Amino acid sequence: MQLVDIGANLTHESFRHDFDAVLERAWAHGVVQMIVTGASHSGSDHALELARAHPGKLFATAGVHPHHAVDYNDLTDTHLRVLANHAQVRAVGETGLDYNRNYSPREVQLQVFERQLQIAADVGKPLFLHQRDAHHDFLALLKRYRDKVPAAVVHCFTDTREALHDYLALDCHIGITGWICDERRGTHLREFVREIPADRLLIETDAPYLLPRSVRPQPSHRRNEPMYLKHICEEIARDRGESADVTAANSTAAAQAFFGL
């Protein structure tokens, strides 16, 4: 089984002390390539640095997460444009809207999301998107830019069937995390994950967050790692009524096409 983790926050400080071991465990568990999420100005620099140190294996995104939208200024915009033009940076983002926590005011989130949509349009790269409790505003803005960008993935999709079909109608890809392995809050996803076309279904750990609850035994530190991607693939396969090998092969082909790996 060969897997691509399309959302790994490997710049997170929790990976600093054993980074090489985390990579080794991922490769040993069937992960062949990973996209390192850039979610802030300095985090995007760091993601690119990791990608450059592991050519052909790690790739980066460059963006500012809606939580950090208040930190976004003209310098950030200029800097992201430089990063986005780099060959190892395969998508603009993580960007989007998060009205669940509202760490940045909604008005600021909207402005900063739109500026990054414009960057993706200008550099002609795919979008790596985050949406939480903001479907209506997010969809409205994305619609205006969708034709200007080559592709877009709504990462860590946790929303409703209706939202899913709104994104599919916009020809978006959908990223599924270990949320689907959570029997307390992910069961709705199990009912409609089969409705995602095989060539637009991408899988991701969102490590170090969202440790799949199907990992047994649960590690005491609760840190998620790319090595657990297989558990997510297996749950999705069960829900789609197909073998995990089929889910893995299709999602890997989809990820490699989406990010040009």
CB of 149 within 8 A of CB of 63?
no
Q: In what order do the strands lie in the sheet with 173-176?
A: 3-8, 31-36, 58-62, 89-98, 127-132, 152-154, 173-176, 201-203
Which residue number, 7 or 240, has a Cβ lying nearer to Zn ion? 7
Give the number of residues in contact with Zn ion, rule: CB under 5 A.
Answer: 2
Kindly state whether residue 67 participates in binding Zn ion, applying the rule CB under 5 A.
no
Kindly state whether residue 68 participates in binding Zn ion, applying the rule CB under 5 A.
no
The β-bridge partners of 127 are 92, 152
Piece in contact with Zn ion (CB under 5 A), picked from 44-52, 134-142, 149-157, 209-217 = 149-157
Q: Is the dihedral of CA 34, 149, 152, 1 positive or negative?
A: negative
Residue 213's identity, in one-letter code, is R
CA atoms within 13 A of residue 186's CA, in its CB half-sphere: 21
Instruction: Show contacts with Zn ion in window 152-181 (CB under 5 A).
Output: 156
* Sequence-ordered strand ranges (E) for 194-242: 201-203
Which residue number, 9 or 252, has a Cβ lying nearer to Zn ion? 9
CA atoms within 13 A of residue 112's CA, in its CB half-sphere: 32
Piece in contact with Zn ion (CB under 5 A), picked from 83-91, 124-132, 140-148, 182-190 = 124-132
Question: Residue 129 CB, nearest distance to Zn ion (Å)?
Answer: 8
- Binding track over 74-113 against Zn ion, x by CB under 5 A: ----------------------------------------
Question: Residue 209 CB, nearest distance to Zn ion (Å)?
Answer: 8
Which residue number, 156 or 236, has a Cβ lying nearer to Zn ion? 156
CB of 236 within 8 A of CB of 252?
no
Question: Residue 143 CB, nearest distance to Zn ion (Å)?
Answer: 20
Residue indicated by tokens 């270990």: 178
Question: Residue 134 CB, nearest distance to Zn ion (Å)?
Answer: 12
Question: Residue 130 CB, nearest distance to Zn ion (Å)?
Answer: 4
CB of 252 within 8 A of CB of 3?
yes
Kindly state whether residue 130 participates in binding Zn ion, applying the rule CB under 5 A.
yes
Question: Residue 216 CB, nearest distance to Zn ion (Å)?
Answer: 26
Question: Residue 249 CB, nearest distance to Zn ion (Å)?
Answer: 26
H or E element that contains 217: none
Which residue number, 67 or 231, has a Cβ lying nearer to Zn ion? 67
Closest residue (Cβ) to Zn ion? 130
| Start-to-end CA span in the chain (Å) | 17
Which residue number, 141 or 198, has a Cβ lying nearer to Zn ion? 141
Q: Which positions lie near Zn ion, rule CB under 5 A?
A: 130, 156
